[in-house]
Amino acid sequence: MSLSSSQLRWGRVLLILLGVLALLYRFWPVPPNQISITQHPHDWVWDEIPIIENQTLGFGKVFAINLPNRPDKRDNLVLGSSVCNFQVEFVDGVIPDAIPPKTYPYNWNPHHTPSEYAARRAHLNGIRRIVEQGLGSGVIIEDDADWDINIKTQLQSFALAIRGLQGTTNSPTSSPYGDDWDILWLGHCGLECKTNLPYYQSADDPTVPEARHFLPYWREPPPVERPDRSRMVCTAKDAVCTSFYAVSYHGAQKLLAALSVNPSGLAEEIDIGAQMDVALGRMCGHGYLRCFAPYPAITGTFRSAGAAEKGSDIHQEGEGDTVSFASWGMLYSTMLNVQRLLRGQPIKATWGDVDKPMMVPEHIGVREGKLYMKTKNGPQIVETVAVDEKYRSRRAMGMVIELFIEASSLLHSSPKDIFPAEWEVNMM
């Protein structure tokens, strides 16, 4: 006897629901054993990592550099940050003609353009606010930055990594990212790692694009074996581009000293009369700053449609040409998905040739990983960092919602009708 299409459809739904029950059984948190806090190796880090879900991504503030005559880019950042539930405070970009040459630092390389110094000065103005306002840390982003819709979960995974590299997974710190850092280079277009120090590598991360979709990096990949879908974090020796990075309070003090006040001898010791990213990279390599960076980068860049020259305010290219919307470096770009986020629709991947071209906004889950040390016999595991049980259950809920989406499509129902409360939670 053959089954009708309706019976087949309900049969598939039943199988999906059985899968949901299996997932809930597998990931449902069990009551922990009654042990003291000193017996659990990662209690402190898991107490502090949830802070990253706040309106400033776990930092003091998020500062965005934007020229007053570019309200289009300001609109991009305001809307993009709002749909990902964080806030930005704007720092006016600097116009070259507004800076008298007498204010340039004495070691500024005159072969660089006034526009390049104006860009560096704008970054320093943002960094100065961290010191002026007494912030524990701050993020500096450029107005063409873009980020994955899952940026808060990505940053929690990153925090877990650098806490391991700082050796503070079991120590209380004032920041969820730890206290022993100057620069977190989250958005870059190439980096070099200090290979004599440990590095961290995550487990399978569904927000990592395949290598063919990476940004056009200006540095060779780190010389370690990195499986597909894995993100590594290292102590950075050098990096390029400054679209999205964090600075600690002490790091901001040191940057103002090195790039503006110029204490005697420092400028000669470190060749820093260059563009912002070049100077920053040299200070990381010298050891003046302690810098950490992910590979591939967590954030990327966005280009609006229209005239090609509207893209960069430093380098004018493609005058007279028109271009379409584009985003680089993220698997699930926020800027390319703004309309879908506002409509509550599934998110579309930046590229069509990926494992999951569509996804539902969800807490993907903090990724566990391992600390490695590079040796002549290959990488040696230093420490394994596991994910807290509540984050496992949150990740499982995202998987459950995806199964309900498939079931609802078979029944021609809205996923919001089937699973409304969790849908709203995962839209946060």
Assess whether 66 and 114 both reside in one domain.
Answer: yes
How far is the CA of 293 from the CAs of 39, 65, 75, 154, 267, in angstroms?
Answer: 30, 21, 28, 13, 24
Assess whether 97 and 216 both reside in one domain.
Answer: yes
Domain C-terminal end among 253, 275, 303: 303
Assess whether 413 and 267 both reside in one domain.
Answer: no
pLDDT tens digits, one per residue of 354-393: 888 988 766 588 999 999 999 988 899 999 887 766 655 4
Assess whether 233 and 137 both reside in one domain.
Answer: yes
Domain annotation covers residue 247: yes
Assess whether 83 and 146 both reside in one domain.
Answer: yes
Whole-model pTM over 0.85: no
Q: Closest by alpha carbon to 427, among 88, 51, 149? A: 149
Assess whether 208 and 83 both reside in one domain.
Answer: yes
Assess whether 285 and 142 both reside in one domain.
Answer: yes
Q: Specify the DSSP element, H or E, that contains 410.
A: helix 389-411
- Where does residue 393 rank: exposed (0-12), middle (13-18), buried (19+ CB within 10 A)? middle
pLDDT tens digits, one per residue of 49-78: 999 999 999 999 999 999 999 999 999 999
Q: Total domain count for the chain?
A: 2
- Asked if 330 and 274 touch (Cβ cutoff 8 Å), the reply is no
> Over the chain, what is the mean pLDDT?
83
Q: Where are the alpha helices (DSSP H) in 133-273?
A: 151-166, 249-256, 266-269
Domain annotation covers residue 143: yes
Domain that holds residue 162: 47-303
Domain annotation covers residue 13: yes
Percent of the chain clearing pLDDT 90 (strictly above):
57
Assess whether 255 and 204 both reside in one domain.
Answer: yes
Of 67-71, 254-258, 393-397, the least confident: 393-397
Domain annotation covers residue 369: no
Domain annotation covers residue 323: no
Domain C-terminal end among 279, 303, 327: 303
Is it the case that residue 111 has pLDDT exceeding 80? yes
- Cα 46 from Cα 392, distance rounded (Å): 12
Assess whether 167 and 297 both reside in one domain.
Answer: yes
pLDDT tens digits, one per residue of 281-298: 999 999 999 999 999 999
Assess whether 184 and 71 both reside in one domain.
Answer: yes
- Name the more confident of 21 and 194: 194
- Residue 284's SS3 state is helix
Confidence of residue 104 (pLDDT cuts 50, 70, 90): very high
Which amino acid makes up residue 274? A
Percent of the chain clearing pLDDT 70 (strictly above):
76
How far is the CA of 64 from the CAs of 68, 71, 84, 89, 363, in angstroms?
Answer: 12, 13, 15, 6, 25
> Per-residue DSSP letters for 68-118?
TT-HHHHHHHHHHHHHTT---EEEE---GGGS-GGGS-TT--TTS-HHHHH
- Residues near 349 by beta carbon (within 8 Å), at least 6 away in sequence: 331, 332, 356, 357, 358, 359
